Amino acid sequence: MFIRLFFLTLLLLANTAHATLNVLACEPEWAALTRELAGDLARVSSATTARQNPHHIEARPSLIARARNADLLVCTGADLEIGWLPLLTRESGNARIQPGQPGYFEAAAHVRLLEKSGIADRAQGDIHPGGNPHLHADPRNLLSVANALARRLADLDPANAAQYAARNQNFQKRMGAAIARWDQEAAPLRGAPVAVQHRSWSYLADWLGLNVVADLEPKPGIEPSVASLANLLQGLKARPARMILRTPYQSPKPAEWLAERAGIDAVELPYTVGGSARATDLFGLFDDTLAKLKGGLK
């Protein structure tokens, strides 16, 4: 009796899993983008939250279980998830989401990456020789990723191809208009000198024309120490910054320590969807980011 019930449950679970596309996004921004493009056609979850550093999570049992049932993985790539994603795909026993399969989508393959050094020497810290992976911080990248993702969704679910295309068109229109608005709003930020904690803001700076004058991390991925911060404080006297930017998943202590001594603001930007109360979707994310940046200028 119990065994029969067990298999019945499995059968039910398997059936519901095929009613809609099951999408596992590596980060909240890709979960949000997939929701924009697929709406009710996909069941979307994110492997990480805005308060988790996407470089450093583990292939937890719950994630392996979610990967097992996924039809599509939507991730950043460019080695951002190198510490856990390969383990996740291998442990999942899921042929659909293996690298190279249609169910494996990497955003980094569809945009031009910044900071491609090609240098792979760990004396330089925890670097990504293939380019900086924090690419969603420039909303213009979202447009090209959306185009590619909409095509991929249509490939996986051809019956609804027209819907994905229509939703993408709608997204492109709304995001294009929003970018125009943000560009205007951000005019006062152009050329503003800022200090960053990790290279999470390279794309944002590239888009808005922020001038990154200092990085709190002595080397990428290496936590700032008191000595390195003291050095930085000296440097900031010569090249002052207007504010210090950090993500919600980074410890506020180094930024606050420095901000207090340099007499500038430490600004926690939402970084991704869910990173602040206002950043409930991709539009709210940049609305809030710009509001906070402009707040930092005052």
Q: Cα torsion at 174, 175, 179, 182 (round to 10°)?
A: 70
Q: How far apart are CA 66 and CA 92, in angstroms?
A: 8
Nearest to 247 by CA among 50, 27, 26, 33: 50
Candidate segments 28-36, 96-104, 236-244, 290-298, binder of another protein by CB under 8 A: 96-104
- Residue from 60, 174, 239, 261 binding another protein (CB under 8 A): 60
- Kindly state the smallest distance separating residue 40's Cβ from another protein, in Å: 20
State the angle between helix axes of 282-297 and 139-156 in degrees (0 to 180), rounded to the nearest 10. 170
- The yes or no reply on residue 65 touching another protein (CB under 8 A) is yes
Confirm or reject binding of residue 183 to another protein (CB under 8 A): yes
Is residue 217 within 8 Å of residue 210, measured between CB atoms?
A: no
What b/e sequence results for 157-192 when a residue is b if at least 16 CB atoms lie within 10 Å of its CB, and e otherwise? beebeebbbebbeebbeebeeebeebbebbeebeeb
**Residue of the chain from 162, 177, 230, 291 that contacts another protein (CB under 8 A):** 177
Tokens 């020789």 locate to: 129
Length of the chain: 298
8 binds another protein (CB under 8 A): no
Q: Identify which of residues 2 and 238 has a Cβ nearer to another protein in the complex.
A: 2
**Residue nearer to another protein on the CB measure, 86 or 158:** 86
Instruction: Please report whether residue 2 would count as binding another protein according to CB under 8 A.
Output: no
CA end-to-end span of the chain, whole Å?
Answer: 69
Burial class (CB in 10 A: 0-12, 13-18, 19+), 225: exposed
Is residue 240 a contact residue for another protein (CB under 8 A)?
Answer: no
Residue nearer to another protein on the CB measure, 10 or 230: 10
Min. distance of Cβ 266 from another protein in angstroms? 16
Interface mask (CB under 8 A) for another protein, residues 31-50, using x and -?
------------------x-
Q: What residues line the site for another protein (CB under 8 A)?
A: 10, 13-14, 17, 49, 51-53, 55-62, 64-66, 68-69, 82-84, 86-87, 90-96, 98, 100-101, 109-113, 122, 125-126, 140-141, 143-144, 147, 176-177, 179-180, 183, 221-223, 249, 251
